[in-house]
Amino acid sequence: MLNVTIIPILSDNYCYLLENAGKIGIVDPGEAAPVIDYLEMHSLTPDVILNTHHHADHIAGNRDIMDRYDCTLVGPASETARIPGMTHKLQEGDHYEFGDETFRVMETPGHTKGHICLYGEKSQILFCGDTLFSLGCGRLFEGDAATMWNSLQKLSALPDDTLIYCGHEYTLANGEFCLSEDPDNADLQNRMEEVKSLRNEGKPTLPVSLEMEKKTNIFLRAESAEDFKKLRELKDSF
Ligand code: ZN
Ligand code: FE
């Protein structure tokens, strides 16, 4: 199985260290130092860095890690110009082998033009960058609401027990918005209690199951692209 370690970086980003059958991967190192510290402390050598999209808070650590360890860099093919040093370019439907695990590549534009999510088919684990957050979704920087809606629908079709690892710890603030729009949702109320106690203990609120998100995340619960658009606009000024 795929072993995932959460490495908190910057102010609210998560970088993920993956281990499977002797392979070591790093998802979205927006900062190198905490990642290198972890690798050194555990005598690990990364084989590959995997980037979901071009934003600096997801790729800024690539260069220092690659200089130090000589690993490969995998990312969205359409972002070759904005992610320097990519050695393997992925697009919709590609399969990327990592140890015994196979990642299915899903293109999910909306937050940025080229954004990929990686779904580990055996472990049923999803790395979704800034497309889907727990109780929220990414801002529409380079896409319209309909595009993002389609991307979220694609993720929502994955198996319910898929474990979601997203790019940021935004769950508490996202949940306040969900509650303001969906105050009587008991699953949401319970999840928010859990989220508050995890954050009070300084723990991540991730991973979370897709099943839980479908019950609580108002952006996944929207019934149409138009409803989604209205919610995204409300959230932008919340
Ligand atoms: Zn981003
Ligand atoms: Fe980000």
Q: Could you read off the pLDDT of 2-15 as tens digits, one per residue?
A: 999 999 999 999 99
Helix (H) / strand (E) element for 214: namely helix 210-216
Q: In 10 A of CB 78, how many CB atoms?
A: 20
| pLDDT (tens digit per residue) in 13-44 | 999 999 999 999 999 999 999 999 999 999 99
pTM over 0.95: yes
Distance from Cα 167 to the centre of ligand 2, integer Å? 6
Six-digit token string for 208: 């979370």
Which ligand has the shortest distance to the CA of 112? 1
Whole-number Å distance between alpha carbons of 100 and 41: 25
Which ligand has the shortest distance to the CA of 55? 1
Alpha-carbon distances of 54 from 79, 116, 127, rounded to whole Å? 7, 10, 15
Distance from Cα 212 to the centre of ligand 2, integer Å? 22
Q: What are phi and psi of 66, to 5 degrees?
A: -70, -35
Active-site residues: which are they? 53, 55, 57-58, 111, 130, 168
Distance from Cα 129 to the centre of ligand 2, integer Å? 7
Measured over all CA atoms, what is the biggest interatomic distance in the chain, rounded to whole angstroms? Answer: 52
Distance from Cα 130 to the centre of ligand 2, integer Å? 6
Alpha-carbon distances of 37 from 1, 9, 32, 118, rounded to whole Å? 24, 12, 9, 25
Alpha-carbon distances of 150 from 68, 75, 122, 209, 223, rounded to whole Å? 39, 21, 24, 20, 12
User: What pLDDT, on the 0 to 100 scale, is given for residue 1?
Assistant: 86
Q: Which residues surround ligand 2, an ion (CB under 5 A)?
A: 55, 57, 130, 167
Distance from Cα 200 to the centre of ligand 2, integer Å? 23
Average pLDDT over residues 130-158: 97
